[in-house]
Structure 1
Amino acid sequence: MTSTVLNRPLKLAVLISGGGTTLTNFLAQKAAGQLDIEVPLVIASRPGCGGIAKAEAAGLNCEVIARRDFENIEDFSHAIFEQCRACEVDLVTLAGFLSLIHIPEDFLYRVMNIHPALIPSFCGHGYYGHKVHEAVVSRGVKVSGCTVHFADNEYDHGPIIAQSAVPVKGTDSPDDVAARVFEAECELYPEVLRLYAAGKIKVVERRTVIAD
């Protein structure tokens, strides 16, 4: 699989569960002329999360599709991807989206996630948000960072596209690490989106190859 070269803005669905900081970063990059995107759809996994207000303030179409309203992952996922198809998005971006989804065949390698650690460390079920940075500090590692990967049907498991490392100092609190990692995320995720839109990402047997 190789991403397709687009000679138009990349159409994104942005899936959120919290404050919408990654969505805000995408929109800021767009406003600065550094990211050629359209966001026809934002999906929130729970009502009342802070990202909904940010999406609406930006004039974006925001739908709430709550996991608790569905009996199983399959029905929940079906509802999400039906909306994505209706909006004809090129790519689904998980942006602090905490619910597991099952990805249909027509969206294989068209769903990306960013994780606030260097996969395969500090990842998988239960490792999300501040819990990741708490675990990093508790373990005493000297390097953390973020990972952008294609999502599959397991937590933090699909092919890794790019990673960015940051130092972890002995005096750091989880908040210190979180701030440093988020700064790296704000650069890495848009860069991967640019690579995708340029047709430069190829997946070969669960490994990605980035064209020059």
Structure 2
Amino acid sequence: MHTVNIAIFASGSGTNAQKIAEFISDKKYLQDSTIYPKEICINPKLILSNKPQAYVLERAKKLGIDSFTFTPDQLRDGRQVDAILDKHDIDYIVLAGFLLKLPERIVNKYNQKIINLHPSLLPKYGGKGMYGDKVHQAVLESGERESGITIHLVDNEYDNGEHLFQAKCPVNKHDTADTLAQKIHNLEWKHYP
């Protein structure tokens, strides 16, 4: 069996990071052999955050997953983060609520091996500064009738990589940023992983 080690990057509470790690640890991915070949063992090996107080680090501890924090300057430089990824033999990177742009050094090294979740139907409402409630507010202000999530590969531009999957939800006239956020979270938890 071939082992694939993943690193999860998160900036906040880590709800999605925990769901991904549990899904993988419980081997639920093996239930669908059309997507995940049975000869592959996926291992959530590392959780990284740019915020030392982020609750995702506590979740990592409870899950028994190594964690590492870094400053924005360390990420921009890339060498220290790259060394940690190498030390843990990381094959793929999963972004789960990670708010910083990865440096070219890491994006190029893990070309086509970095996956992100964005809370809109890209290419709409993507790009620098478009995350969380800012996205939901922009969707509402534009009068959209639907929103959703996009799972995509990461390249050197914000929210620009190849789309792997999209899921939609309706936007009602009485929706607020909070109610729309809950609909989006439900899609995230269902489809990512």
TM-score between the two structures when normalised by the length of structure 2 = 0.86
Q: Which residue does the alignment assign to 1:82?
A: 83
Q: In 2, distance between residues paired with 1:58 and 1:39?
A: 10
Identity, in percent, stands at 29
Q: Which residue does the alignment assign to 2:35?
A: none
* Superposition pairs of residues 131-210 of structure 1, within 5 angstroms: 131-190=134-193
- Give, as a single letter, the amino acid of the residue that structure 2 aligns with 1:81: D
Q: In 2, distance between residues paired with 1:39 and 1:132?
A: 29
Q: In 2, distance between residues paired with 1:30 and 1:158?
A: 24
Q: Post-superposition shift, 1:97?
A: 0.7
Contact 1:163 1:188 in 2 (8 A): no
- Consecutive unaligned residues of structure 1, counting only runs of 5 or more, are 1-6, 191-212
Q: CA RMSD in A?
A: 1.7
Q: In 1, distance between residues paired with 2:137 and 2:125?
A: 10
Q: What secondary structure is seen at the aligned counterpart in 2 of 1:41? A: strand
Q: What secondary structure is seen at the aligned counterpart in 1 of 2:102? A: coil
Contact 1:119 1:147 in 2 (8 A): yes
Q: In 2, distance between residues paired with 1:111 and 1:158?
A: 10
- Give, as a single letter, the amino acid of the residue that structure 1 aligns with 2:167: S
Q: What secondary structure is seen at the aligned counterpart in 2 of 1:10? A: strand
Q: Post-superposition shift, 1:39?
A: 1.4
Q: Post-superposition shift, 1:16?
A: 0.7
Cα distance, 1:107–1:27 mapped onto 2, change above 3 Å:
closer
How many residue pairs align between the two structures? 180
Q: In 2, distance between residues paired with 1:31 and 1:93?
A: 15
Q: Which residue does the alignment assign to 1:19?
A: 13
Contact 1:20 1:50 in 2 (8 A): yes
- Consecutive unaligned residues of structure 2, counting only runs of 5 or more, are 30-40
* Superposition pairs of residues 39-78 of structure 1, within 5 angstroms: 39-67=44-72, 69-70=73-74, 73=76, 75=77, 77-78=78-79
